[in-house]
Amino acid sequence: MLDILRDKFEDVFRFIKGTGKIRQENIEQALKKIKMAFLEADVNYRVVRHFIDEVKKKALGESVLKSVSPSQQFIKIVYDEMVKLLGTQTVSLPETFPVNKQTIIMLVGLNGSGKTTTAIKLARKYNKSNPVVIAADPYRPAAVDQLLIMGKKYSIPVFYDKKETFPLRIIQKGIKDSKEKKYNLIIIDTAGRMEMNKELMNEIKEIAQKIKPDYRIFVADALTGQNLINVAKEFQLSTPLNGAILTKFDSDARGGAALSLKYLTKTDIFYIGTGEKLNDLDKFSPSGIAKRILGMADVISFVEQAQEMAQDKELSKLEEKIKKKNFDFNDFLSQLRMINKTGSFRKMLETLPVKIPAGANIDEKKFKHIEAIILSMTPAERENEDLLDLSRKLRIAKGAGRPVGEVTQLMKQFKNMKKMLKKVLKNDINSITQMGHLSSLFKM
C-alpha cells in the first residue's frame, strides 16, 4: 500500500531539490508531478485540485525561513497539507469504554469489506470491556458460521439466532441477552449487500434509529478505490457516521481512497486493517501515513524545529512591542493569524498556569471578516486605535463590507487582547485567571 505514491513523491522531491532555487515555474512543475502522482494513486480529482491549490498558495506566499533550504520548506508544506487532508486531529474510538453503561458499536459496509473480521479485531482489542459480537446478517448463513468460528477461536462471545430473519430483531434480542449476561461492549456485525441499494440503506437507517448505537462505523475495503467515497456518502444518508475503518491496507491498493475520504465525506479514519490476523488493526495516524507516503521524516522534523525557533523569535519581538506599548492592529492581525496556527500568542498563554479553552481557534469565516476590517484601515489607523471615531468606523465598515457594529466589537477585542498581554507580561496571573474574559477573546 502507498508504494506507488511513495515512489512518485521521491521523484517529485528529487526534482525540487535538484532545481537549486525555487521559482514559480519550478513549483508549477513540481505541482504538476504531484497532481499526476495523486491521480495515478486514484485520489479523487476534487481532492487533488484542492491539495494543489493549497500547496501552491503556501509555497508562493510563505516567506522562507533562513535556516532551511527552499526545497526543505516545500517538502514541509506538502507534508502539512497532506496531514490536513488525512485529518489533522486524530479522532478515534476511546481507549476504554465506560464501565457503568453499555456501549454499542455498529459496523456498516458492503459484503466483503471486512466487517466480520473487524468486529472480532475490535472485540479483541477491547477485551477488557467484556465485549460481545452480534451476528446480524441473516441473509448469508455462512456469515454467522464465519463469526462463530472466529469467536470460538479467539474466545469472543457471539450472539446469533439462525431462526430470526430480520436483522433488527436479531439485534434487539442480542442486546437483551447482553444485558442479562452483563456484556459491556456490544459490537454489531450488520448485513451488507454486494452493492449499495435502497434496501440496505433503509435497513441501516431503521437499525440506527431504533437501537441508537453510540458509534456508527463505516468499514470499507481500501482496494475499492473511488467507489468507496460514493458508498460512504450513501451510508451517511442512512445514518451519520462517526468514523471509518479501512481494511486491506496491507494490499497493494493505491491509497487514493484513504486520501480522499476525509476531505469528501468529513469522516475520520479510526483504524486501518493491515492483515487477516487479529492484531492487524492499527490506529490511523495522519502524520504517520503522510510520512510514509513522503519519506523525508528527517527533513520534516528539521523544518519543524526551525519553525519553532522562528516562532520564539516572533514571540520576543511581540514582548518587546507590548513593553513599548505600541502593540497595534497590525500585531493584532498577525497574532490572530498565529493563533490559527500553533501561534506564539497561544504558546505564551500555555506557559501560564491558566487553562486555555478547548478548541481555542477562530472560525475561518470570522477571521476573514476581522482581516477585512483591519485591512480597510489606513496605516495610521492601524497603528493608533484612538483615531477611530465614528466616521472612520463607518468608512472602514463600508470598505470591509461588514456592519459597523462589528468594527466596534473588534476594537473592544483588540483592547482586551492588549490589556491581557500586558498582564501576561507583568505576570499578573491573578487578574487574568478570570477565564470568561479570556475565552471571549478566542470566541470572536
Q: Which residues bind ligand GDP (CB under 6 A)?
A: 109, 111-117, 192, 247-248, 250-251, 273-276, 280
Q: How far is the CB of 250 from ligand GDP (least distance, A)?
A: 5
Residue 224 interacts with Mg ion (CB under 5 A): yes or no: no
* Nearest residue (CB) to Mg ion, 60 versus 149: 149
Q: Which does 157 bind (CB under 5 to 8 A by kind): Mg ion, ligand GDP, none?
A: none
Residue 134 interacts with Mg ion (CB under 5 A): yes or no: no
Q: How far is the CB of 307 from ligand GDP (least distance, A)?
A: 36
* Nearest residue (CB) to Mg ion, 5 versus 120: 120
* Nearest residue (CB) to ligand GDP, 113 versus 267: 113
Q: How far is the CB of 283 from ligand GDP (least distance, A)?
A: 14
Q: How far is the CB of 192 from ligand GDP (least distance, A)?
A: 5
Give the residue closest to ligand GDP by C-beta.
273
Residue 247 interacts with Mg ion (CB under 5 A): yes or no: no
Q: Which 66-125 residues touch Mg ion, going by CB under 5 A?
A: 115-116
283 in the Ramachandran plot: left (φ > 0), alpha (ψ -120 to 50) or beta? beta
Q: How far is the CB of 5 from Mg ion (least distance, A)?
A: 30
* Nearest residue (CB) to ligand GDP, 242 versus 247: 247
Q: How far is the CB of 145 from ligand GDP (least distance, A)?
A: 11
Which one among 48, 107, 143, 186 touches Mg ion, defined by CB under 5 A?
143
Residue numbers at the binding site for Mg ion (CB under 5 A): 115-116, 143
